[in-house]
Amino acid sequence: MKRKIVHIVRSPAGGIRKHIVSIIEKLDSDFEMYLILDSSKGDKSYFEFLEKNEHIQGRILDLKILEQPGFVDIINLYKILMFVLQLSPHAIHGHGAKGGVYARVIGFFLNIKVIYTAHGGSIHNMHGRTKNRLYSFLERVMYYFTDLLVFESKYSMEQYSKKISVDSSNPKFRLNYNAVPYRELPSTCREMGEEVIIGAFGLLRFIKGHDLLVSAVSNIIKRGYKIRLRIFGHGEEKQNLLQLAERKQILKSFEILEETRRVDEEMRKCHLIAHPSRFESFGYVPLEALVNGVTVVSSLSGGLREVMDNGKSGFCFETLDVESLESAIENALTSRSLREKKYLNAKKEIERNFSMDRFSSGLRDIYLSLM
């Protein structure tokens, strides 16, 4: 009989959705997976995953989960309690701040082993002074109700360690890098075209730095480069980005497209993929770009430093401003030999640290260690 694991997450979208989908797709043959989430927050790829995996649809508890604490959380906890009682799972895996709280409260009441993956939300000091203090306090308390903490990057582990004042050498802390599906990587990176297509993929949020990208590309276009900027995603920053592009007079060279199910196909149409994120606990997009043979321009924020091997796998910048991003893009456009050198390094790093087999075997061992 398979061991049962319940995953709890507020919003199955973006990187956190990729993480959970990877777990289920790679480990569902070993474990019986269940999901508790708010499907109204799901992205297109989440629903595509459900279409392909009909057996999962009968293992989902769909709730209205708000980001802010409130009375609805009490109702949700009662519903989760009833759901989990019927299952008698071997472990609960909470993802993100709200999923982590739910998992640890239920685990405490039912005496079930709890795993927590922060995914950045409670790690970054980006919520304002009052909320940052609240998150830090909650994480310090919840730490004692957590059996294992699994981190997707060393950065996440170190930041969390500082936030709760517990040394990361503690046996509760486990590092297990996220991964991308294995494929035979192209032998060489893609060449530049007469018109260069720069792509960006991800939720349209301020923390993703798309505003820096629009400004940087507009400056480069003014210097005579033929560039088309294509951003794939949805979110609250869409109108702000369109207005910025209008002010910069690049609307003819700029478009925002809804999230696509053909990510690999769209990435391969790009000559460069930019990821100027202000906050990132890991960073799937650069890895996905690299396995498609596309040169990457990226910040080194958070976990991106590990993903980009300290800048050796792409054209990276330390300072989060337009000028630094602009310089990185121009270097990528003009230096063919450096593009090739960085891509070859990226191939080695992906095979060594970010393979799906490494990810799934590591997490399988983590789950089994609790059972």
Q: What is the pLDDT of residues 287-343, one digit of tens each?
A: 999 989 899 999 999 999 999 999 999 999 999 999 999 999 999 999 999 999 999
Work out the pLDDT band at 214, boundaries 50, 70, 90: very high
**Looking at the predicted structure, is the pLDDT value of residue 126 above 60?**
no
Question: Which pairs with CB-CB distance under 8 Å and at least 24 residues apart come from 50-58?
Answer: 53/24, 53/25, 53/28, 56/24, 56/28
State which CATH number among 3.30.390.30, 3.40.640.10, 3.40.50.2000, 1.10.3720.10 fits the domain covering 196-353.
Answer: 3.40.50.2000
Residue type at position 78: Y
Nearest CA among 154, 146, 147 for reference residue 178: 154
Work out the pLDDT band at 209, boundaries 50, 70, 90: very high
pLDDT score, position 10: 95
pLDDT score, position 159: 87
Host H or E run for residue 228: strand 227-232
Across-strand partners of 173? 149
Higher pLDDT, 163 or 205: 205
State which CATH number among 3.40.30.10, 3.30.9.10, 3.40.50.2000, 3.40.50.261 fits the domain covering 3-179+355-369.
Answer: 3.40.50.2000
Scanning the chain, the segments in alpha helix (DSSP H) are 14-27, 44-52, 54-57, 71-87, 96-110, 129-143, 154-164, 210-222, 238-247, 263-268, 284-291, 304-307, 322-334, 336-353, 356-369
How far is Cα 71 from Cα 224, in angstroms, rounded to an integer?
A: 56
How far is Cα 147 from Cα 173, in angstroms, rounded to an integer?
A: 9
List, for residues 14-59, the tens digit of each pLDDT value. Answer: 889 989 999 999 998 899 999 999 999 998 889 989 999 888 999 9
List, for residues 77-91, the tens digit of each pLDDT value. Answer: 999 999 999 999 999
How far is Cα 201 from Cα 188, in angstroms, rounded to an integer?
A: 22
